[in-house]
Structure 1
Amino acid sequence: MLCILPPFIFRDIILLSSRKYSSKIKSNLNKILLSMPKHPKHLGEIQNQRNKNKQKLSKFAPGKVTLQVLGTGTKGAPRSLYVFSDQSRYLFNCGEGTQRLAHELKLKLAKLEHIFITHPSWQNIGGLPGITLTMQDVGVPSVNIHGPTGLQELFHAAKKFVILKNMDISFAESNPKELFEDNVLKVQYVALKRHLEALPNEFPEDEHMDDIDISHGNQLGMNEDEKVDETTATGKHKRSKSISSYLSEDNSSTSSGKSRKRRRRKKNRSRSLSLDTSSNSSTTRSNDFNNSFCVTKDKGISMCYVCRLQPRPGALCLEKCVALGVPPGPLLGKLKSGEDVTLQDGRVVESKQVCEPDDPGPIFIVVDCPTEEYISSLIDNDVFKKYQKFAENDEDAASVVVHFTPKRVMDDPRYQSWMKSFLTSTQHLILNETNTCMGSIAVHRIQHKLNMIHPKIFPLLGDNGTKVADEEILKHDKSHKSDGNKELNVLSADTLTAIHLRPRKGLDRSEEIRLKPKEYINETLCIEGFSTALHDVESNVQISKYDEMVKEYPKVLFLGTGSCIPNKTRNTSGIILETGKEQRILLDCGEGTYGQIVRFFGKSKCDEVLSSLKAVYISHIHADHHIGLIGVLQNRRRALKHLNMEHEPVILLAPIQLYSWLSFYDHFFERIKDEYEFVSNSDLLYTGHRLNNITYDRIIQKLNMQEISTCFVKHCPNAFGIAFSLEDGSKITYSGDTMPCNDLTILGRNSDLLIHEATMEDDLEHEALIKMHSTTTQAIEIGKKMEAKYILLTHFSQRYAKLPRFNENFADNVGIAFDNMQVRMDDLPSLPHFNSALRLMFAEHYDEMEQKAMKRQLRNEKENESNLEKHKILKTQ
């Protein structure tokens, strides 16, 4: 049974679900939530120091400015350009996975002040929620986002799971008639408009851009009292409003809503739109603004940026000063500032005699032409002509043009002609799907090591786009030509490809990432005792003898095993449960999940995997569990189209609150409503299904299941665990995020496999309690209580980036999950045999954890002794 759920009944459903959940939580958990720390004290100090440093440097143009490729735009990787100076940082586009690359490459997000978005598509904005949370954690006081109108709506709608209490976000109007300017850059906004002209070819992937239908994704199995007649006047009125306003009206009165609307209208007229994320009060955007953004989506706006470095006086040459007899002191400062000076003997020393030539500031242009329909606006725009061959002087000619434009559009003869309008010396840096590098060394490094333990459970990754250092490769210091065209200086990009603008050094490929598999293996084999441990694994597991008899399905692939934010070795939550050759279910979908699929299976096979994805389960609406869903849905659609397969929506099992986020994105940004059929997790509770039988039977048949049931768990409102009973009789339970939970024990009774979160080590039980997570021992105990045959621990705090701490509770049925680890049910007995080898492989990391634990224990003992002494003194008094 299908029906479309209008946004205005979300409030009632959310309140009902919250009440139902809250009745299950004990009163002491509410006290824990109230006592959780709200404002980290260290952030204020970091922010104050940062502002002081910024004020000191803001008077001077920087001496170093470099364009550096962060995400190449290849399949599965973000496309993003990092511009850094010795003072501040700028980011152009922020696709999903940007923050993980920035973390691995040690790019200083603490200095990032401005993010420029070209086109409001997920491949450009999917990383914004994650990167802003990370920037807040490192003490960034504020960030300014530039781009097409309406980007602020993304944060308003996401404020349920992107909580920015300690950082201000402002949104520049990006008016083409105005400039953005600071001490580093002058940026001119150039808006490309979409012309709905007849095209020779069928409109490609982004054909949904012209659809402003406000209806939403398919909703399965709703109760009769939850249905709404869409033809009613009330329904029409509600749908005309901003969806994100519904997210904020749950706890607001009518009068306060009107007052906030007036304030919002007034604020929208200012130079920039600021978002006060520290306030818990709800705000309602005006209909005028929403209507204007609908026009932006309908017509299509892609923002390009013409960026000129601020001029910098030539450097003072001290050797020349000494040769001319200029004494140390204030005269040197005057010469450096461009003044001529007179020496005591009457001689005049001119500034130009002792200073290098002034640097007027080179120009780079960022261009994104999403489809052929934008090309006319590009080639007819007079702004670009000022920086092409028609430039009035050499200083105005563009040094670099960065193209985010897709290959299909770049191959258009009109676009090629526009590129030829620049000087032959202009470098064209390409950031699109024609590149191959996905950007990470760490994931390959750890996989090559783990592959030594068991090549089937830890197979080498299918992504071969990152070049290997010891292979003979093309020299990249020469420009790559496009189709043999000698008029264009076209550069492909790897991660960390750089172009130095100041001082002018041009293209620099010395820092581009390269893999060194032999080095990774040799450094592991050199570890004392590892060879012996590896031999023990091989003798105990006997890979070659039993492998042929192992049943292929069900199979579990871990795409992300870390918590909160991704790091270089553990991505955020994502698990593929494979129940048959053509049946896959995705359990949670953190940021970068699609990239992990590409990385594991390779660019050619990933489409087959996505096309076999029949369902996605989201346990709760924290960002690290669902922010990658839009990317997966979009790329699954592309995979079906590429394989010429019939389009079929994926079954989406999720908390009802997620539905409003997806509906919002569909309404304001890109059409995704046809990619999923929504089933509320609360309709599958083991205490009694509310989903109608016809729909339920269709789902379990489609997924090769006998039964699917959920339960509420103790983490946040509307967090769920789930159990799957498969056709072959096996049972698999997934906890999601939770404290020890009795309902989960009941749900997962007699499971063959329990996948349970183990965020903290046992010594941090108090911290786990505050954050409503489980320790390793608590997770194992839940498995024992439900009499699970095997337990796999996952969702580790990022302090356990490589390995969690072992303890005496790690029995012979307990295993540790790693990213890119694939296990069949018959593989599970092998996992405990890996522990000794793993501990040696990551000995340095493990010793560091042990030392921290020892210091923690000593500190606690001292505190206990101090408290005991105080107690004795008080008692004697």
Structure 2
Amino acid sequence: MFCLRKLNCCSKCLKSSQIIVRTLQVSNRKKYVKPQRESTQHGTRAHLQVLGSGAPSQPASVYLHCVDKRYLFNCGEGIGRMSQLVGLSLAKISHAFFTQSKWGCIGGVTSVMFSTVASTGFPPTFNGPNNLQKIFQRMSFLSVIGGIFKHRFTDQLFKNERFEDNKIVIEPVELKHLKDTAIIYVCKLKACPGRFSLKKSLQKNVPAHLVANLFRGEDVTLEDGSVVTKADVMNQDWPDLYFIVVDIPNKGFLKELAINAKLKSQLEKIKATGVEVIVHFTPSKVFNTMRYQDFIERVNPKRNLIVNDSNKDDSVKSVHMLQTRLNKIDPKIHPLLSTKLDINPRIFDPSDESSDKYGKIPMLYSKYILRGEPKEDVELETSSDEESSDFEEILKDLNESPKDALPLCTQEVPIKLKDEKFPRILFLGTGAADSYALRNSSGTLVHLTPDHSILLDCGTATCSQINRYYGDEAPEIYRRLKAVYVSHMHLDHHIGLPELFRWRAIHLPTDRQPLRIFCPLDDLKSWLLFYANHVDPIHFDMKFIDNDILIKDQLNLHERLYLNIESMRTCPTDHYRKSYALALEFSYRNGTDMGRFKLAYSGDIGSSDEFVKLGQNSDLLIHEGTFQSELKDYADRHRHSTIAMALEQSRKMQSKHTILTHFSSRYHIIPYIEGELDANTGIAFDYMEVTPDDFPRLSSLYAKYKENFPSAAEQLERKTFNYLSKSEWE
């Protein structure tokens, strides 16, 4: 390594040399293996929390909370958003277990890695099929953000063997069919002594000043001379408890399920104790077969927890409540969601006899309590599985919704694909990369005709958004969709593509036309070909077109006719290497009314004269407004736009109408805008659908949004005041 003292050059060279030295120091640093830490808490509570039920609108995932330890079984795409909506922290997960290496089981792993790395500096350990390490390491190179993972992956993080700590033992049973692998997890919660009971100490008339002595395990003598021992005030001891996690992907595995020697051995060992519950990730078409039912009878569990596609209703109450409130403001622009809300989620509690009325009937329980304590003793346990955040404050407005809001979430919704007008623009995701809860990551669906649609960016859980919005009509949307445009390689703009291919395979015939993918060719093609070779064979279902050829409008005539467009042009932007903005021109027809439409889409962008020229005189500009106008330094640092910058771009472009989107997580419901919006400008929400007839009234809605969400507006005012005060002080 060279010495900087010998360099006699300008300050710019000195700075470059310092960067090189620092890079060499980091690269020579010894790899650090995260030490295993034993728990210091000795509670008894343990429960399974369903993060996603496996319904079309959400992933299938189960979270095991055991005192201060957190374990995760599968994490499909969109798990980050689901965890926020149910108030659980992914950052606390220490171990993740995967039943398969398919996207439906691993698609949300980036959210888990981001959360745990941000909190502890390291991802959790991963347990599953042998090819997980190769897949996850490849995912770490998907964008520059993913680079924070690549030096943290070590061989110790990936395991396919028996797992044991001081709370649980998890034995994997590997099943194979052809080249595919599925893993069953036989889990044992270790026996533990009962906890101190406050109720029993009160029944023994122990005075308050002596209760602490009993809690520490000391015997106490009362005023009447009687002695109260530790054993007198303890709850019952808890024996070993077993549960099994099963995911049989297809009928080809059923023979192996019946004859697998290791599985038979494990079931024989626990036969005397019995199995408390089986968690079924197994899809319904396999679950309902005779062979699988024979397996359930052989295990003979007390209950069956179903986490698969047989669940149809949605469980995300806050999303439905927000949409209901917006629907009251403007029912045309904010239609109700077609997927019904499950307003009576079932919780199994062994201390509540009424929760056991279903017995062995296969059932979705939102929460399954494996071990509990009497309610008066729960407060003695200090750990909590709830995420400490301001999310409850954020949802204050939603919790004050009218009493008729819940019935609206469960009623039959009118058909959305009837008497349509074109073009139609549906916003599926209006949040930035750090947004999960009430705003999904980037995705905008543009309906050109009844048979042609184009998706602008495809962030995480885009397909969940489609399924939740359209319900039973979703298959028609996948049939219409002809192309996806990816503006750049940040995860929040393309990581939803594998899930899109999965739903196309479910709903479309095998002889379907491949999906056109307009993208930064080298990077995205490399990732999707890796995915096709190692996860799901989708080679035949994709056709790549480089965004660079669109710079000079060189899309061939055959593709234009197939997509039903007249022009598709891009220009490079400086947000990230190979990032682009788009201008799309096409003709539309509504009965006898015909016209031409120009749509400009910014993607992620700062100020750009090239984009102003490209989108000149557009009918609609969809522009990112990640930050409020006062945070221009943040915007410049991350090469994003403030709302003021977006409005300035709109004026220079002479766009007829503008819709702002891609808001930072600072703005959970509404963004902060000082003063009035321009008369031709509106703000986007998830599930907002607009046609040209709606554009003129969009600007007037912002005042109504502020009026209907006063807590959110007050919170933004407070945050802005604090930020400006801090800036002035500095």
Q: Does the alignment reach a TM-score above 0.5?
A: yes
Partner of 2:584: 724
Is 1:490 the counterpart of 2:490? The answer is no
| Letter of the structure 2 residue corresponding to residue 500 of structure 1 | L
Among all aligned residue pairs of Structure 1 and Structure 2, give the percentage whose two residues are the same amino acid: 33
1:607 to 470, 475, 479: 475
Could you give the per-residue CA deviations for residues 95-134 of structure 1, whole angstroms, max 9, x where no partner exists?
0111101011110223211110001111101111123113
2:330 to 454, 473, 477: 454
CA distance in 1, matches of 2:361, 2:154: 35
CA distance in 2, matches of 1:359, 1:84: 16
SS in 1 for 2:666: helix
Aligned pair in 2 of structure 1 residues 170, 421: CA closer, same or farther (>3 Å)? Answer: farther
Q: Report the number of matched residues.
A: 650
CA contact under 8 A between 1:111 and 1:140: conserved in structure 2?
A: no
1:653 to 494, 503, 518: 518
Aligned pair in 2 of structure 1 residues 804, 61: CA closer, same or farther (>3 Å)? Answer: same
Structure 1 segments unaligned to the other structure (5+ residues): 1-27, 40-50, 197-298, 342-346, 470-474, 482-488, 506-510, 526-549, 864-877
1:417 to 287, 294, 307: 294
CA contact under 8 A between 2:50 and 2:63: conserved in structure 1?
A: yes
Aligned pair in 2 of structure 1 residues 59, 846: CA closer, same or farther (>3 Å)? Answer: closer
CA contact under 8 A between 1:462 and 1:601: conserved in structure 2?
A: yes
SS in 2 for 1:74: coil
How far did 1:860 drift?
A: 2.3
SS in 1 for 2:512: coil
CA contact under 8 A between 2:320 and 2:341: conserved in structure 1?
A: no
Partner of 2:693: 826
2:505 to 614, 637, 657: 637
1:180 to 142, 163, 167: 163
Partner of 2:246: 367
CA distance in 1, matches of 2:566, 2:61: 45
CA distance in 1, matches of 2:632, 2:671: 14
CA distance in 1, matches of 2:619, 2:212: 80
* Matched ranges for 1:82-93 at <5 A: 82-93=63-74
Is 1:682 the counterpart of 2:558? The answer is no
CA distance in 1, matches of 2:700, 2:706: 11
Point out the more displaced range, 707-716 or 137-146. Answer: 137-146
Is 1:740 the counterpart of 2:611? The answer is no
CA distance in 1, matches of 2:669, 2:703: 14
SS in 2 for 1:490: coil
How far did 1:479 drift?
A: 5.2
* Matched ranges for 1:389-400 at <5 A: 390-391=268-269, 394-395=272-273, 397-400=274-277
Is 1:561 the counterpart of 2:561? The answer is no
2:456 to 587, 590, 602: 587
CA contact under 8 A between 1:306 and 1:365: conserved in structure 2?
A: yes
Aligned pair in 2 of structure 1 residues 504, 80: CA closer, same or farther (>3 Å)? Answer: farther
Aligned pair in 2 of structure 1 residues 551, 354: CA closer, same or farther (>3 Å)? Answer: closer
How far did 1:139 drift?
A: 4.1
Alpha-carbon RMSD across the aligned residues, in angstroms, is 3.8
CA distance in 2, matches of 1:719, 1:335: 64
Aligned pair in 2 of structure 1 residues 311, 478: CA closer, same or farther (>3 Å)? Answer: closer
Aligned pair in 2 of structure 1 residues 349, 444: CA closer, same or farther (>3 Å)? Answer: closer
Partner of 1:243: none
CA distance in 2, matches of 1:663, 1:787: 41
CA contact under 8 A between 2:602 and 2:623: conserved in structure 1?
A: yes
Could you give the per-residue CA deviations for residues 64-87 of structure 1, whole angstroms, max 9, x where no partner exists?
111111110111310000100221
Could you give the per-residue CA deviations for residues 593-640 of structure 1, whole angstroms, max 9, x where no partner exists?
0000011111x1000111110111110010001111110122022111
Partner of 1:711: 571
How far did 1:701 drift?
A: 1.2
CA distance in 1, matches of 2:215, 2:343: 49
| Letter of the structure 2 residue corresponding to residue 835 of structure 1 | Y
Could you give the per-residue CA deviations for residues 490-537 of structure 1, whole angstroms, max 9, x where no partner exists?
33215x3323334599xxxxx9xxx99997652899xxxxxxxxxxxx
CA distance in 1, matches of 2:644, 2:155: 46
How far did 1:316 drift?
A: 5.3
Aligned pair in 2 of structure 1 residues 358, 386: CA closer, same or farther (>3 Å)? Answer: farther
How far did 1:780 drift?
A: 1.0
* Matched ranges for 1:253-652 at <5 A: 299-315=179-195, 356-385=235-264, 388=267, 390-391=268-269, 394-395=272-273, 397-423=274-300, 426-467=302-343, 477-478=355-356, 480=358, 489-493=360-364, 496-503=366-373, 521-522=401-402, 552-602=421-471, 604-641=472-509, 646-652=511-517
CA contact under 8 A between 2:397 and 2:711: conserved in structure 1?
A: no
SS in 2 for 1:134: helix
Partner of 2:57: 76
TM-score by length of 2: 0.81
Partner of 1:96: 77
CA distance in 1, matches of 2:428, 2:538: 23
CA contact under 8 A between 1:143 and 1:168: conserved in structure 2?
A: no
2:635 to 758, 768, 773: 768
CA distance in 2, matches of 1:437, 1:776: 37
Where relative contact order (Cα < 8 A, 6+ residues apart) is larger, the structure is 1
Partner of 2:99: 118
CA distance in 1, matches of 2:354, 2:634: 50
CA contact under 8 A between 1:130 and 1:565: conserved in structure 2?
A: no
CA contact under 8 A between 2:678 and 2:699: conserved in structure 1?
A: yes
How far did 1:710 drift?
A: 0.7
Aligned pair in 2 of structure 1 residues 411, 651: CA closer, same or farther (>3 Å)? Answer: same
TM-score by length of 1: 0.68
CA distance in 2, matches of 1:106, 1:814: 34
CA distance in 1, matches of 2:202, 2:692: 77
CA contact under 8 A between 2:126 and 2:159: conserved in structure 1?
A: no
How far did 1:62 drift?
A: 3.4
Could you give the per-residue CA deviations for residues 235-289 of structure 1, whole angstroms, max 9, x where no partner exists?
xxxxxxxxxxxxxxxxxxxxxxxxxxxxxxxxxxxxxxxxxxxxxxxxxxxxxxx
How far did 1:312 drift?
A: 0.9
SS in 2 for 1:303: strand
How far did 1:329 drift?
A: 12
Could you give the per-residue CA deviations for residues 389-416 of structure 1, whole angstroms, max 9, x where no partner exists?
x556633x21111111111111111111
Is 1:671 the counterpart of 2:548? The answer is no
Partner of 1:529: none
Partner of 2:146: 163
1:749 to 596, 601, 616: 616
SS in 1 for 2:275: coil
Aligned pair in 2 of structure 1 residues 381, 750: CA closer, same or farther (>3 Å)? Answer: same
CA distance in 2, matches of 1:500, 1:759: 43
SS in 1 for 2:544: strand
CA contact under 8 A between 1:436 and 1:465: conserved in structure 2?
A: no
Aligned pair in 2 of structure 1 residues 328, 651: CA closer, same or farther (>3 Å)? Answer: same
CA contact under 8 A between 1:321 and 1:354: conserved in structure 2?
A: no
| Letter of the structure 2 residue corresponding to residue 609 of structure 1 | I
CA distance in 2, matches of 1:783, 1:392: 67
How far did 1:551 drift?
A: 8.5
CA distance in 2, matches of 1:622, 1:629: 13
How far did 1:859 drift?
A: 2.3
* Matched ranges for 1:850-869 at <5 A: 850-863=717-730
SS in 1 for 2:124: strand
CA distance in 1, matches of 2:706, 2:442: 23
CA distance in 2, matches of 1:118, 1:75: 19
CA contact under 8 A between 1:610 and 1:636: conserved in structure 2?
A: yes
CA distance in 1, matches of 2:725, 2:227: 70
| Letter of the structure 2 residue corresponding to residue 819 of structure 1 | D
Could you give the per-residue CA deviations for residues 736-770 of structure 1, whole angstroms, max 9, x where no partner exists?
00101111111111111110101011110011000
CA contact under 8 A between 1:145 and 1:171: conserved in structure 2?
A: no
2:673 to 803, 806, 811: 806
Aligned pair in 2 of structure 1 residues 722, 349: CA closer, same or farther (>3 Å)? Answer: closer
Partner of 2:658: 791
CA contact under 8 A between 2:214 and 2:229: conserved in structure 1?
A: no
